[in-house]
Amino acid sequence: MNQDGEQILIVDDDETTLDLLQLHLERAGYGVLRAANAGRALLLFAEHCPRIIISDWLMPGIDGLELCSRIRDTEYNRLIYFVMLTIQSEKDRLMEAFDVGVDDFLSKPFHEGELLARVRAGCRLATVCDQLSERNQTLARNNAELSSLTDRLRKAASTDELTQLPNRRQAMTRLHEMWVYARRTETPLSCAMIDVDHFKNVNDQYGHLKGDEVLQKLSQVLITSLRASDTVYRIGGEEFLLLFPREGVEHALVCAERCRGAMEAAVFADPGRTHAVTVSVGVAERNAEMSTPDDLLNCADAALYRAKEAGRNTVVGPDGSPASAVA
């Protein structure tokens, strides 16, 4: 075989032509797959996938043109260089042969030098095509990696690392979208601002790591206390925001109270003792006097402030009065 290990499929119903082709090709160092008809050639092609095929045109059964078109139907992502052996009378049908995918022609009787020159040209082209296809595959792989990295970065940019909840940036984006939707469709929009009570004490008493655990637990409690259409975000150290699209203050108050109660009931165990952590919640609903999403947040913030003033562990609505009893 030649230095590239190139195998050449030769197809002819004439034994003498096959012998001659084989002799010249093997002498030049190529490997030879030999077929006395197109059916056998298709089998050898499927088994060995040669890149160069030299075929007679006129053969009993499947002729060279049909063989070429069947091979063109099976090949994928790989160039096959198809050389057709022709006699003078076939010359005026060359266009037809090009149309089915023949790459080159060799007149019978052929000259050894011309045969090898055609084969070398085919090998060169096939090698360049293989390199291009390899490069394309590498590019496709790199693109896939890049897009998965972009996805991960995008997710990281909108996710809070400690709790895996969407972060403040995401909250503001979603709130803005919901605000625009509510204004356009004249549907309600409400929110709840949650702040952990005396969280500094939790850190001081139990350590920062325990404090982190409390924030993670609180996130889980909030997720399980909400409906699928309500969303929760960590917008600050121990501050969370709930958004209730298409819902008014009544729904928001019920949800906020459910979250507050669930948090109060959650028990945090330390060696030898247990402790509870509570939250205060301020609830607000979009109204005609508000002109931006910030107005809604400020209203919820003011209600939260009152909840703290009212003794904490409580929910306060936009009218400023506690909606749940102080523990």
**Known catalytic residues?**
238
Q: Which of residues 122-181 bind ligand GH3 (CB under 6 A)?
A: 162
Beta bridge partners of 281: 194, 315
Neighbouring C-alpha atoms within 13 Å toward the C-beta of 117:
7
| Cα(143)–Cα(133) distance, integer angstroms | 15
| Among residues 199, 233, 240, 244, the one that binds Mg ion under rule CB under 5 A | 199
Nearer Cβ to ligand GH3 (251/312): 312
- The partner in contact with residue 208, picked from ligand GH3, Mg ion, none with C-beta cut-offs of 5 to 8 angstroms by kind, is ligand GH3
Q: Least separation, in Å, of the C-beta of 168 and ligand GH3?
A: 12
Q: State yes or no: residue 215 binds Mg ion (CB under 5 A).
A: no
Q: State yes or no: residue 195 binds Mg ion (CB under 5 A).
A: yes
Q: State yes or no: residue 237 binds ligand GH3 (CB under 6 A).
A: yes
Q: Least separation, in Å, of the C-beta of 292 and Mg ion?
A: 23
- Pick the piece of the chain touching ligand GH3 (CB under 6 A) from 94-102, 164-172, 205-213, 316-324: 205-213
Backbone phi, psi, residue 204, to 5°:
-65, -40
| Among residues 195, 230, 247, 285, the one that binds ligand GH3 under rule CB under 6 A | 195
Which residue is it, tokens 């247990």? 274
Q: Which of residues 254-283 bind Mg ion (CB under 5 A)?
A: none
261: exposed, middle or buried (C-beta count within 10 Å: 0-12, 13-18, 19+)?
middle
Q: Least separation, in Å, of the C-beta of 200 and Mg ion?
A: 7
Which residue is it, tokens 């260089």? 81
| Among residues 42, 191, 196, 310, the one that binds Mg ion under rule CB under 5 A | 196
Question: In which element (H, E) is residue 107 found?
Answer: strand 104-107
Q: What is the DSSP string of 160-184?
A: -TTT-SB-HHHHHHHHHHHHHHHHH
Q: Least separation, in Å, of the C-beta of 278 and ligand GH3?
A: 9
| Cα(80)–Cα(276) distance, integer angstroms | 74
| Among residues 19, 200, 224, 327, the one that binds ligand GH3 under rule CB under 6 A | 200
Q: Least separation, in Å, of the C-beta of 194 and Mg ion?
A: 9
- Pick the piece of the chain touching Mg ion (CB under 5 A) from 82-90, 118-126, 143-151, 192-200: 192-200
| Among residues 151, 212, 294, 319, the one that binds ligand GH3 under rule CB under 6 A | 212
Nearer Cβ to ligand GH3 (56/238): 238
| Positive or negative: CA dihedral 69, 75, 76, 77 | negative
Those residues with Cβ within 8 angstroms of residue 8's Cβ, 6 or more apart along the chain or in another chain: 25, 30, 31, 32, 33, 50, 52, 53, 54, 119
| Cα(238)–Cα(234) distance, integer angstroms | 8
Instruction: Enumerate binding residues for ligand GH3 (CB under 6 A).
Output: 162, 195-200, 203, 208, 211-212, 215, 237-238, 308, 312
